[in-house]
Structure 1
Amino acid sequence: MFWLLFILSIFWVIILLDFIRGFRSIESIDDITPDHSRELVSVILAAKDEKASIQQTIESLLHQKQIQFEIIAVNDRSSDSTGAILQKLADKYNQLTLIHIENLPEGWLGKTYALSQGVKISSGNYLLFTDADIHFSPCIISKAISYMKAEKADHLTAAPNLKAHSISLKGLISFFLFGFGYLKRPWTANNKKNKGGMGIGAFQLMTKECYQSVGGHDRIRLRPDDDLALGIRIKKKGYSQRLVTALKSLAVEWYPSLSSALRGFEKNAFAGLNYSILMALLAMSGVIISQVLPFLLLFSSVPKVQMISAANIILLFYLYALTTKHLTTYSRWIIVGLPFFALLFVYMLGRALILTWVRGGIMWRGSRYSLKELKQNFKDTEED
């Protein structure tokens, strides 16, 4: 057991060095002074049953300053009052154009199809894809355009403040970000020599030429992780990409409760592991061994096992704290819940795996997508 923990400690030291270098490369655009831009930005969002948030999202977009913009909202088969709210806003504000989708064509996810339809009527040379539950500060788009031009980037994606109310939900979100960090290494988006790409659905700004060149949403039509898939395609095609944070300028309540988070992760937890049962099982066992076991072995009767367990725990706390500091606004004290959040994450992943397998696919936005077609689309986009 000692040698297992020793190898783990070496692994975490390597990850720590990567985290330190990586987070240094991710800049914040919250406090930059934007230049006034005459570029027209087409803001495109898809909304399905978003009556609780859609009006505040649209209104925060309408208050953007120092930028020319149009908003294209796509009502994706909503069964609540989302369509009526959007129609009322569209009648009042000429910057807002509304598209209603009644039927979803075969072979598309609702969101990817909705966004692709929004692009078709867009007029801007820049496209900003976002979600229907985001709050935007008044100058965030102009800041992003200014930064993007200064960096000569074709694509910019920004990490928002992920608001959460309960400790358990904050823990699950922060642990997900921690795991995402060492598995996907998001900062590689800022390294021109690295093919690693990144895309965050809350804020994806790109030139229209870049979007069209990589095939747009048509190439990722059945990807539940469409934001990440689009960002990866952009980077692989050789375009310049930047990942930034905007914790003061963008905010979203990712999920209102822990139960809704568990349901939400059903659609993309398995997708993030390439729809591989083996990878999912390895991920769950890996988390238990590397991030729960050291806490248990801290109570071992063997002194050297206790010491190496303590070393692993210190490294884990440091890594978790770095993630929390750079990607959230949560209290640093949340790190003490790491082993419990790790077990919660394992439960979430196992639940998503079982439900996806039993259902033979995923349920999302009122539609069912088979595992077979999801796997095939994943394979096609990875090989292209």
Structure 2
Amino acid sequence: MMILFYILLLGFWIWIVVEFLRGFKAIESIDHYPISETSQLVSVVIPAKDEERHIKETLLSLIAQENIALEVIIVNDRSTDRTKQIIDDVSSRYSNVKATTITSLPEGWLGKNHALYKGVQLARSNYLLFTDADVVFHKTALVRAFNNMVTYGVDHITVAPHLKASSFFLKGLISYFLFGFSYLNKPWKANKPSSKQGIGIGAFQLITRNCYTSVGGHERLRLRPDDDLALGQLVKNSNYKQRFVTSLQRITVEWYPDLQAAFKGFEKNAFAGLKYSYFMAVLAITGVFASQILPFWYLFYGSSTEQLLSGLTLLLVTSAYTVSTFYFTRYPLWIVVGWPLFSLLFVYMLTRALLLTMTRKEISWRDSRYSLDELKIFYKNTK
């Protein structure tokens, strides 16, 4: 029985490796995309909740953008630290930076989604860029992305940035998450007009106002913790043209400062990413364990056939993980040798997030709490 299981598992990973090798080659890096100056105004909308550590660097990197006209709309969302003071100081010195403050959250909204919704109301351009308050842009990042968008004639372009991390285990956890994200979401399919697979990366989503308005904007996503991915999916489902690219050299974000923050942050999206399904939650945890952890046991303690099949399976997993790490990160490739530890860490993080969410019956994010039942009902009504 185990031999049949591992034959099937071996076939699965062969398929994944082939998919990765073909798929990732279809994802373009825009780090060196040609620059062509444009006078087109782009409205950058940024939500900021207690972002005093990063917000100034983000704003200054946007102000320094070359060959493109920008207005930067920064929405202070009920911050309790120095975020408002920093925003007000920068906006007082630069005429293309607009600051606005939200003092209360209406019922039926997630804070970030409401902040983006309010920011769009102040935007003047037909091009909207949604980004986060901790993203740092090289001075030619936006014009390269805009030129790529215009060249390919798409309505929505989303860019995967470099995810900066300080420790070995945090880099491992991030790279392992990107590995799992890749074989679950197959982001390269976003570039195929015939595919309904959409993608959205919160660090960079540039979209035409017509497309954004037509799909319902953030009002339609008001209770989606995975608003970035959901927006990308809405674009594709509505038959608009989409493009997914990377910019690991020119766009950088510190996703989480340490492992503890990563564990906390994952609580917000874990259950939403599994479509609020208990079955999917159990399947995700047991699937990682059975396909990536259990083979180590049979590698040492199984029959000779089981050892061979397990060894081949682990080799294929390592190959797929190496491909995603190469295309999605700037981490040294030798980090892939730690993937057995990272898979255990990921199983722990996922299990912890799901158990906390299900026992609390709510998610907690940036000092706000949201009912799990309300989130599930909204998801079912809007998917």
Distance 1:380 1:21 in 2: 35
State the match for 1:118 in structure 2: 119
AA aligned opposite 1:229: A
The code of the aligned residue for 1:281 comes to: V
Distance of 2:143 and 2:382 partners within structure 1:
32
Match in the other structure for 1:237: 238
Deviation sequence 1:256-304 (CA, Å, 0-9, x none): 0001000000000111001111110110000000011112211025211
Q: Which stretch shows the higher mean deviation, 162-171 or 67-76?
A: 162-171
Query: Does structure 1 residue 259 correspond to structure 2 residue 260?
Result: yes
Alignment of 1:24-173 (within 5 A): 24-173=25-174
Q: Deviations over 1:124-144 (max 9, x none)?
A: 110000000001000111111
Deviations 1:211-250 (A, max 9, x none): 0010000000000110000010011100000000000010
What is the CA–CA distance in structure 2 between the aligned matches of 1:5 and 1:330, rounded to whole Å? Answer: 31
Counting only pairs closer than 5 Å after superposition, residues 342-381 of structure 1 correspond to structure 2 as 342-381=343-382
- How many Å apart are 1:359 and its aligned residue? 1.1
Deviation by residue 1:307-342 (Cα, 9 ceiling, x = unmatched)? 111100110010000000000011111111111111
Q: Which residue of 1 aligns with 2:341?
A: 340
Q: Give the letter aligned to residue 30 of structure 2.
A: I
Corresponding residue SS for 1:342:
helix
In 1: Cα distance, 2:220 partner to 2:35 partner: 33
1:280/1:353 contact within 8 Å kept? yes
C-alpha change, 1:301 and 1:189, in structure 2 (3 Å) is closer
Indicate conservation of the 8 Å contact 1:44/1:127, yes or no: yes
The aligned amino acid for 1:95 is N
Residues in 1 aligned to 2:5 and 2:243: alpha-carbon distance in whole angstroms: 37
For residues 132-158 of structure 1, what are the alpha-carbon distances to aligned partners after superposition, in whole Å with 9 as ceiling and x for unaligned?
000100011111111001101100000
The 8 Å contact of residues 57 and 136 in structure 1, kept in 2 or not, is answered as yes
SS at match of 2:6: helix
- Distance in 1, matches of 2:66 and 2:80, equals 33
Instruction: Give the gaps of 5 or more residues in structure 1.
Output: none
The residue type equivalent to 2:75 in the other structure is V
SS at match of 2:230: helix
* Distance in structure 2 (CA, Å) of the matches to 1:174 and 1:223: 24
Question: Which secondary structure state, in structure 2, belongs to the residue aligned with residue 358 of structure 1?
Answer: helix
Secondary structure at the aligned position of 2:189 is classed as helix
Structure 2 letter corresponding to 1:111: K
Which residue identity does 2:72 align to in structure 1? Answer: I
Note the alpha carbon deviations across 1:159-192, whole angstroms, 9 max, x for none: 0000111111111111111111111111110011
Does the 8 Å CA contact 1:277/1:353 hold for their aligned counterparts?
no
Residue 195 of structure 2 aligns with which residue?
A: 194
CA distance in 2, matches of 1:297, 1:61: 52
Following the alignment from structure 2 to structure 1, what is the Cα–Cα distance between the partners of residues 365 and 356?
13
Task: Give the Cα–Cα distance (whole angstroms) in 1 for the partners of residues 7 and 216 of structure 2.
Answer: 46
Structure 2 residue identity aligned to 1:344: L
Aligned partners of 2:122 and 2:321: how far apart in 1? 43
Letter paired with 1:26: I
What are the within-5 Å matches in structure 2 for residues 208-223 of structure 1? 208-223=209-224
Match of 1:204 in 2: 205
2-structure distance, mates of 1:374, 1:171: 30
TM-score (norm 2): 0.99
Describe the SS at the equivalent of 1:246: strand
User: 352-361 or 247-256: which moved more?
Assistant: 352-361
2:283 matched residue in structure 1: 282
CA distance in 2, matches of 1:12, 1:258: 28
What amino acid maps onto 2:244 in structure 1? L
Structure 1 residue 5 displacement after superposition: 1.2
- Deviation of 1:17 after TM superposition, in Å, equals 1.2
Query: How far apart, in 1, do the equivalents of 2:126 and 2:74 lie?
Result: 18
Q: Write the distance in 2 (CA, Å) between the matches of 1:160 and 1:206.
A: 17
Equivalent in the alignment of 2:177: 176
What is the CA RMSD across the aligned residues, in angstroms? 0.8
User: Is the 1:64–1:141 contact (alpha carbons within 8 Å) kept by the matching residues of 2?
Assistant: yes
1:300 and 1:350 map into 2 onto residues whose CA distance is 27
Deviation at 1:33, TM superposition (A): 1.5
The TM-score, its normalising length taken from structure 1, stands at 0.98
* Aligned AA (2:146): I
Matched residue SS, 1:269: helix
> How far apart, in 1, do the equivalents of 2:282 and 2:350 lie?
9
